Amino acid sequence: EAQVTQNPRYLITVTGKKLTVTCSQNMNHEYMSWYRQDPGLGLRQIYYSMNVEVTDKGDVPEGYKVSRKEKRNFPLILESPSPNQTSLYFCASSSLLGRQTPNEQFFGPGTRLTVL
């Protein structure tokens, strides 16, 4: 089954304790992206990757890191989480239309993160 998986689905942690949210897709997609969703603010892009070893900042990259060492995986790292990073996080992947623009994105189930 074609899917994007994220782990963990729920996480409660404390300020400053490094954490990683994993994202994996089995569709051989070039493009992967991380979003956070907050009430009233919609989906905001954190980081994205057009292919292996190619990553770029989205609109809200501060406090986050990513890596794309393999095509299928795109982990999101919070080196020192803070309460303002409490949010619902989505990972997504897609093929590229004409190698230029993300096609239909498939979203993972979401990770609800609470930082105390």
Stretch touching other proteins by CB under 8 A, among 8-16, 18-26, 66-74, 97-105: 97-105
Please identify, using beta-carbon distances, which residue of 69 and 100 lies nearer to other proteins: 100
CA–CA dist 17, 84 (Å, integer)? 14
Among 41, 53, 84, 116, binds other proteins (CB under 8 A): 41
Least distance in Å: CB of 43 to other proteins? 4
Please identify, using beta-carbon distances, which residue of 14 and 41 lies nearer to other proteins: 41
CA–CA dist 67, 42 (Å, integer)? 24
Q: Is 97 in the site for other proteins (CB under 8 A)?
A: yes
Please identify, using beta-carbon distances, which residue of 12 and 97 lies nearer to other proteins: 97
CA–CA dist 28, 1 (Å, integer)? 13
Q: Is 109 in the site for other proteins (CB under 8 A)?
A: yes
CB 113, CB 9: distance < 8 Å: no
Cβ atoms within 10 Å of 35's Cβ, excluding its own: 24
Helix (H, G, I), strand (E, B) or coil at 88: strand
Q: Is 11 in the site for other proteins (CB under 8 A)?
A: no
